[in-house]
Amino acid sequence: MYQDKKVVFSGVQPSGVLTIGNYLGAIKNFAYFSDAYHCYYCVVDEHAITVRQMPADLRRRTYETLALYIACGLDPEKNTLFVQSHVSAHAELGWILDCYTMFGELSRMTQFKDKSAKNADNINAGLFTYPTLMAADILLYQTELVPVGVDQKQHLELSRDIALRFNQVYGDTFVVPDGYIAKETAKIMSLAEPTKKMSKSDENENAVVRILDPRDTIIRKFKRAVTDSGSEIRAAEDKPGVTNLISIYGAFTGKSVPEVEKEFEGKGYGDFKLAVGEVCADALAPVQAQFARLSADKAYLETVMKQGAEAAAHDAARTMSKVRRKVGFIELKR
Ligand code: AQP
């Protein structure tokens, strides 16, 4: 559909202050695509309300997430940056795709099972159909590539299945997307329970390092990180804590696992954890400085949101028109 360049789409929920998991697993990779692809990066606020949010917090975090996109290197001139609820086609296509998604498929989604367990008093229909809205986000823009963390792999596979099913019934309508999952940072683990994913909504502040944490907080959190028995700094299945710290150190320094292991040969956990905290704080400092400048300029952020929403709505309209015709809706002439 977009003859000039292939399309990349991804999104982040403004459901908390973003973590280094969101940064290393997703946002940091977004900028790699900006030159070669037509990129849409969305703040997915409609996804966020599948879990109860305080309205004022959601609004603040939506601005904050957009400012972080830009602070992490996404130039609004080169990327379409926008907020999901500003483009009504997402919800509209989400509904249509609900009718092409099976109950059994949604029932198998592990994120639904995990989030239902965490929010037992609010297992709403939106939480269940979250993956179809995600499929709509992606398919609306005829996306080829979706950079995500590995936790989103199952949802992405469902998006592919929905696209293939729709195309089979109605003929070529959607590009079938592929995931882009950076191997080394696919899943950054909790610092408190390293067998569990680091999540921005984790209530244990010591489990997560946030992109906006001050330097001393970052260093303190790494110093407290749970490590494993033994004293060797080596990546291994039975050493999830140390393995996670090695991945984080490697991601911030660009070093491979063997290089990190070699660098810390003969050193203790204390030295290692301090070094991880320092490289993380150093890498985040420029992002934080840029974020501080941007978040002081709400008018600028609103201009970016508005321009992004107009561009995204324009492009989404092409897919929507095609989808409406295919399923048999009447399009009124303007
Ligand atoms: N720990 C992680 N390691 C690597 N990648 C991660 N991502 C999230 N956590 C990690 C990736 O960040 C992108 C945005 O995620 P999201 O906001 O859409 O939702 P999520 O995956 O549910 O992230 P959180 O932090 O766990 O949020 P909450 O706590 O609200 O559920 C995605 O590409 C995701 O893979």
Q: Where does the pLDDT of residue 1 fall: very low under 50, low under 70, confident under 90, or very high at 90 and above?
A: very low
CA 188 to centroid of ligand 1, rounded, Å: 9
Rounded-to-5 percentages of helix, strand, coil across the chain: 55, 10, 35
Q: Which segments within 24-161 are labelled E, that is strand?
A: 38-43, 79-83, 145-147
Q: Record the pTM.
A: 0.94
Atom 15 of ligand 1, nearest CA residue: 12
Helix (H) or strand (E) holding 159: helix 153-170
CA 298 to centroid of ligand 1, rounded, Å: 25
Residue 242's closest CA among 221, 261, 259? 261
- In the numeric block, which tokens belong to residue 231? 């004293």
Query: What pLDDT sits at residue 245?
Result: 97
CA 325 to centroid of ligand 1, rounded, Å: 35
In whole angstroms, give the CA distance from residue 212 to residue 68. Answer: 9
List, in sequence order, every residue forming a beta bridge with 81; answer none if it has no partner. Answer: 41
Write a three-state SS string for 240-307.
HHHHHHHHHHHHHHCCCHHHHHHHCCCCCHHHHHHHHHHHHHHHHHHHHHHHHHHHCCHHHHHHHHHH
Do 233 and 225 meet the contact criterion of CB atoms below 8 Å apart? no
Testing ligand 1's pocket by substitution, the residue of 151, 187, 202, 280 carrying the most ligand atoms inside 8 A of its CB is 151
The secondary structure of 95-117 as a DSSP string is HHHHTTS-HHHHHT-HHHHHHHH
Give residue ranges with CB within 6 A of ligand 1. Answer: 12-13, 15-16, 19, 21-22, 25-26, 148-149, 151-152, 185, 187-188, 197-201
Return all residues near 112 (Cβ < 8 A) that are at least 6 apart.
106, 127, 128, 130, 131
- In the numeric block, which tokens belong to residue 155? 């949802």
Amino acid at 49: I
Q: What are phi and psi of 142, to 5 degrees?
A: 55, 50
Please tell me the number of Cα atoms within 13 Å of 312 on its side-chain side.
32
Question: Atom of ligand 1 at shortest distance to CA of 47?
Answer: 18
Query: What pLDDT sits at residue 3?
Result: 56
Sequence ranges of the domains in the chain: 6-181+298-327, 205-292
Judged against a pLDDT cut of 60, whether residue 141 lies above it is answered with yes
Task: List the single range of 132-141, 223-232, 308-317 with lowest mean pLDDT.
Answer: 223-232
Judged against a pLDDT cut of 60, whether residue 69 lies above it is answered with yes
Judged against a pLDDT cut of 90, whether residue 331 lies above it is answered with no
Q: What is the mean pLDDT of residues 283-302?
A: 97
Judged against a pLDDT cut of 90, whether residue 15 lies above it is answered with yes
Residue 82's closest CA among 323, 321, 313, 333? 313
Query: What pLDDT sits at residue 228?
Result: 83
Atom 7 of ligand 1, nearest CA residue: 22
Mean pLDDT of the chain: 95
In whole angstroms, give the CA distance from residue 27 to residue 20. Answer: 9
CATH class of this structure's domain 6-181+298-327: alpha beta
3-state secondary structure at position 51: coil
Judged against a pLDDT cut of 80, whether residue 223 lies above it is answered with yes
Topology of 205-292 in CATH? Tyrosyl-Transfer RNA Synthetase (1.10.240)
Catalytically annotated residues:
115, 197, 200
